[in-house]
Structure 1
């Protein structure tokens, strides 16, 4: 089943000027406690709710997405469902309100939504997450490792061991643990997609721990792609630039930097989560059968390798 852009707004196939497809936002200074909610972000982020149009590219597929309640993960979940996939959503219990919204959009597309709250820092949850997703979906053939922790810290001296530990456990340890368990279910033709970042190439001085994990994800992706290629399982990554999500307002950026967020890109604006979704759909679909170990940069024109 596919969905014609339900809101009647221009979809991702409509010819548009990328500079003006979305407005150049000037977010007010704002703060949310971690992990942040899409429902409370100002201005509202676009996850493709009224614009993403599916064409059956993932018909019958079964996907697990971490960090699926908001931002990029939510946009990918909506797109996957409208392309015909059933989706299991991993998110923190505090994000239940956003997860309910995304689950309802998946179900409105005629697909199954499985909500599995928990903390990816917990190794036991990483295992239970995959097992429950595979059981309730009746298998698993797409894994999107997307969850991330990002908290800006002005100096290395202020970066606590606790934050360092939480960032690495969420952003890279969970990728190893969830993927390792998922390999018990993934068959030839399956796809693993990891979310990295422009921060892997152009690290901000206030995001040392976050940027380091994103560089590690690039390396993990390229090495695992070679390991799994003979098994017919493809591994790739997507590297977003400045995308407007709750991550930015829950201490992911210095508060004084929010009004200028994304304006330094060649396009002159921040990206919206829905602009990431087609990259994930491409890497999940058989169209990309000869693409392995690749990182697709979706960053508004910021130079990257």
Structure 2
């Protein structure tokens, strides 16, 4: 019986060697998810983007998938062996989870991120290389059309093709009143989330072979309409529409196009978007499942859509949102 218990403990991470989950001293091995009230109320709202490495409470290493941010519990099956992939916003959060799991599945990954996110990008690269993948780093603001073209050209020059493009990078700002949304903020949100997605996709499509996949990180807000995220929700609705149109356009070329629509997930996007009062409200209003999600819980959805397991799926949105029922 002791031997069986040791096997169970090792699989669930409850053995004595389980490492600390966060700067509070709690253990990651229990597989417990953070509940409302267990997060420090932090904010990086004074920055253009959030930096995961600077978060007080980093995306939890206590999840089922993510062990000490090395993703040691994720069971890869070489679903993307030899694939060449691009993940925008792959420096942290959901993008990092997708990128690392792609590498674990046998893919090489190019990361696109803002120069301010270099520290996080280097961490993602370490995880990708440790998983056996090649990693290219591109510090590039995707609002820049020519910069997006250069990224695609560089990846094609290095690898010859692009099997999977993940348009994940976005910015978000929580503003309760539309009259307080500045033209500068509106411009940045629209150009990052819509222009950037369009620029990279347009440049990449000629280099995506039959069997390739485009994945867009949209959001449940496109369907739910939160009052404080007007401009962000507008862009996510546009992305859902783009996925549907582009799927109808590219299926004849053998390229599938889908979206992942996250619910509330603990990434650097949130502290960069909300002040401490808004963060407190957000943490205390979790998904129906009773908690905020973790990036590692989103990564497998990207692996699925990128792989042949999803060969009959295109033009769809997968809602990984902790149980919220939304139309579409």
Q: TM-score, normalised by structure 2?
A: 0.85
What residue number does 1:147 align with? 169
Q: Shift of the alpha carbon at 1:25?
A: 4.8
Q: How does 1:68-147 map to 2 (within 5 A)?
A: 68-147=90-169
Q: Shift of the alpha carbon at 1:126?
A: 1.1
In the TM superposition, structure 1's runs of 4+ consecutive aligned residues that sit over 6 Å from their partners are none
What residue number does 1:38 align with? 52
In 2, the alpha carbon distance for the partners of 1:268 and 1:137 equals: 43
1:229 to 214, 226, 251: 251
| Segment of structure 1 superposing worse, 225-234 or 43-52 | 43-52
Deviations 1:32-73 (A, max 9, x none): 222111111131104732332311011110100101101100
**1:257 aligned onto 2:269:** no
Could you say what secondary structure the match of 2:206 adopts?
A: coil
**1:288 aligned onto 2:310:** yes
Q: Shift of the alpha carbon at 1:157?
A: 1.0
| Kept after mapping to 1: 8 A contact 2:165/2:214 | yes
| Kept after mapping to 2: 8 A contact 1:28/1:258 | no
What residue number does 2:20 align with? none
Q: Shift of the alpha carbon at 1:28?
A: 2.3
What residue number does 2:35 align with? 24
What residue number does 1:185 align with? 207
| Kept after mapping to 1: 8 A contact 2:112/2:139 | yes
Larger radius of gyration: 2
What residue number does 1:3 align with? none
Over the aligned positions, Cα root-mean-square deviation in angstroms equals 1.6
Could you say what secondary structure the match of 2:319 adopts?
A: strand
Q: Shift of the alpha carbon at 1:113?
A: 0.4
Deviations 1:203-257 (A, max 9, x none): 211110000000000000001000001110000000000000011001x234213
In 1, the alpha carbon distance for the partners of 2:248 and 2:274 equals: 35
What residue number does 1:175 align with? 197
| Kept after mapping to 1: 8 A contact 2:152/2:203 | yes
Q: Shift of the alpha carbon at 1:29?
A: 2.5
Deviations 1:117-136 (A, max 9, x none): 11011111111111112222
Structure 2 unaligned spans of 5+: 1-9, 14-30
Aligned length: 289
Deviations 1:100-119 (A, max 9, x none): 01101111111100001110
Structure 1 unaligned spans of 5+: 1-7, 12-19
Q: TM-score, normalised by structure 1?
A: 0.91
**1:53 aligned onto 2:75:** yes
